Amino acid sequence: MAKLLETGVRAPAFTLASDIGGKIALKDFKGEKVVLFFYPKDLTPGCTKEAIAFTDHLAKFKRAGAAVIGVSRDSTDRHAKFREKHGLKVLLGSDEDGKVVEKYGVWVEKTLYGRKFMGIERSTFLIDEKGVIREIWRKVKVPGHAEAVLEAVKAL
Residues in the chain, total: 156
Identify the three-state secondary structure at position 6.
Answer: coil
Query: 117 φ, ψ to 5°?
Result: -155, 165
Catalytic residue among 11, 16, 35, 47: 47
**47 catalytic, yes or no?**
yes
User: Catalytic residues, which ones?
Assistant: 47
